[in-house]
Amino acid sequence: MPTKSPLEDEVADAVARLMRRGLPVTLAAVDPVLLELRGVLARAADPGDEASRIAALDGTLRGLLARFPDARYAAAARALFGLPPAVPGMNLTVRRELAAEQAGHEVHHFRKRVEPKLVTTLAAELLADADRFTRSPLIAPRLAPVTARQPVLADPFAWEVAEQEEQLSLLWSAIYAARAELLTVERLISLHSERTDVIRAAVTAAWRWAAARAEAISYTTAFAPDLAVHELVALAGWTPALSAGQTSRLTEAAAGGASREAFVAHLHGETGLGNTWTEGFLAALPSPEQARTVPSTPVPPDPDQNG
């Protein structure tokens, strides 16, 4: 485990060296400072294994490049590191030419003025990712293959431990399910999908998010009163801002393992709440072009209810 946080310049230099060979990350190209980032250690199947951390770093970088914060230079940044529009086997010179073309700059100007800024931005994203893991209140349990039955002894202590493991598994399954649906919404918006498809996915995301919040309340009440419910649910991903009353109504509708249909039926007539949730996604479009494709106007709570 790292004993101190790496400096921004150290990470930027390491990212610049990694760029020379591009992705995938290899042992020959990686700087140890990148393998010690908390976001990488947390994602590694075995934090003590270098190959596992390299795989985790590779996946982390691909995710950050897919969500590069500057849309104008996102394709250029990906090309620099060997991701599409680049293809495997391109050397840095070819990748740089492609990146400059994607960014609309002359190659010399791109290399001198733009490329360092892209490297600095990616390094800052890596550090921000590490910082989020530093402040994470709970880490998902790492699972290992089980080849033999593991009976629970007829003992109060064993029952309590098993129950906590059950609740923890339910909590994380709910958080990851919510994360999957929230990602689906953002992907559909990015794909300029039909408005009804986006809204349907947003309703499903609301159901999963509310179910995760219900599980978080159940777990913290029984086993971890020092953990904040909102911090646990925030691990699933970004959601539109809701009032305390709206949050409670969503949670009540999803509690007890309610199906999506039961969740929607419970909230029948909650047009204001439905609009707040769906409009939050539609209004958060990252570009004016996408905003024109999916206009922000009042929406029904769930298109499935309209046939």
Whether 45 contacts 142, CB under 8 Å? yes
Return the domain boundaries, the chain: 8-135, 157-285
Name every residue whose Cβ is closer than 8 Å to that of residue 124 and which is 6 or more positions away in sequence. 8
pLDDT at res. 291: 40
Helix (H) or strand (E) holding 74: helix 74-80
pLDDT digits (tens, 9 = 90+) for 185-212: 999 999 999 999 999 999 999 999 999 9
294 has pLDDT over 60 = no
CA 216 to chain centre: 18
Mapped to the 3 state alphabet, what secondary structure does 241-287 carry? CCCHHHHHHHHHHHCCCCCHHHHHHHCCCCHHHHHHHHHHHHHCCCC
Q: What is the chain's mean pLDDT, rounded?
A: 88
Percent of the chain with pLDDT over 70: 89
pLDDT at res. 3: 45
Identify the three-state secondary structure at position 189: helix
CA 84 to chain centre: 20
pLDDT at res. 285: 55
Interval 271-288 mean pLDDT: 80
141 has pLDDT over 50 = yes
